[in-house]
Structure 1
Amino acid sequence: MDVLLLVIGFMCVILGIFGSFLPVLPGPSVSWVGLALLYFTNAVPANYWILGIALLITIVISVLDYVIPAKGTKRFGGSSYGIWGTNIGLIVGILAPIPFGFIIGPFVGALIGELFFDSKDHKRALKAAAGSFIGLLASSFMKFVICVMYLGLFLTIVWQYKSELF
């Protein structure tokens, strides 16, 4: 049973890394589940501090994942229309069956929102849309770093308890 939990946990951590770029999968959350599965084995004693801190980081990163693109829009001169457009575009982009919809959605949403706010200022609308795109990239990079850290933690714990696991 320990080997099965180890394999499923490892697959979750790897899937979490892919999920840091694919919005269909909540990357840090899936990686955290993989880390938690490792502690469900009989060979690895439970460490609630590591799991608790990792869960807190996961929750904060998950919240920031939705906040950062909107803040990027605001930072680049976007109005509240652009911020709403970014959030709506992100949801539509995730649900739309188009390739890279999670990237295109926030950009187009911010652009439409800004054009709705001021249809004459195309330059400002494009700048705000670029801000939402940069925010999305920053958010994805942040999730990727956290997921890679969870992978490193997972491998370190497995290495530490390798004699009990195998």
Structure 2
Amino acid sequence: MEIVGWVAAVIMFIVAFIGLIYPIIPSVFFIVGGFLLYGLFASFDEMSWIFWVIQALFVILLFGADTLANIVGVKKFGGSKAGMWGSTIGLLVGPFVIPVAGILIGPFLGAFLAELLVTRTGVKQSLKTGIGSIVGFFTSIAAKGAVMLLMIGVFVLYVTSSFG
């Protein structure tokens, strides 16, 4: 059953990494789901309360990294709160309206239109904010990917050694 646990966990981890590019997939739930599936099929013995506290802290870090990267990306390029909201809405809606390319076009257009229509900053500044939203998106992918790798690394350490 341990092999089944590993296979289930790895599948969940792969889906989580797909969620980095396609943010409609809740990556953090798939990472934690991988831990839980491994435990159900193999054993929870190695996953002590310390393991779960560490993972909970990583989950908090994941949410913080995502939010911070978006804020920094938009703010660094001179955007406002409207630009941040527009970028976030575009990130969620874009992939549905324009499959594949919507993941980049959505946040860009959301930030651009929000700046142009809400804050009336002008086309040049609105374009800069749109570019900032894309920079924030890529920064978010890198930060979340690093944290997810750390989460999986801690998991592997715990289940393959005597940490638990």
TM-score w.r.t. structure 1 length?
0.80
User: Which residue is 2:73 aligned to?
Assistant: 72
Cα RMSD after superposing both structures: 2.4
* Higher deviation after alignment, 5-14 or 136-145: 5-14
**By how many angstroms is 1:13 displaced?**
1.9
- Aligned CA distance change for structure 1 residues 75 and 43 (closer, same or farther; 3 Å): closer
2:81, 2:10 → 1: CA distance? 41
**By how many angstroms is 1:4 displaced?**
2.1
Contact 1:2 1:43 in 2 (8 A): no
**By how many angstroms is 1:133 displaced?**
0.9
User: Which residue is 2:113 aligned to?
Assistant: 112
Asked if 1:98 is matched to 2:99, the reply is: yes
Identity within the alignment, %: 29
Asked if 1:146 is matched to 2:147, the reply is: yes
2:159, 2:43 → 1: CA distance? 12
Q: State the one-letter code of the partner of 2:81.
A: S
Per-residue CA deviations over 1:68-104 (Å, capped at 9, x if unaligned) read: 3244212311123222211221221143352132221
SS in structure 2 of the partner of residue 20 of structure 1: helix
- Aligned runs of 1:11-160 on 2, under 5 Å? 11-40=11-40, 41-42=42-43, 44-116=45-117, 117-118=119-120, 121-160=122-161
**By how many angstroms is 1:139 displaced?**
0.7
**By how many angstroms is 1:54 displaced?**
0.9
The count of aligned residue pairs is 160
**By how many angstroms is 1:158 displaced?**
4.4
Per-residue CA deviations over 1:88-123 (Å, capped at 9, x if unaligned) read: 21221143352132221111111111111326x221
User: Which residue is 1:164 aligned to?
Assistant: none
Unaligned runs of 5+ in 1: 162-166
Unaligned runs of 5+ in 2: none
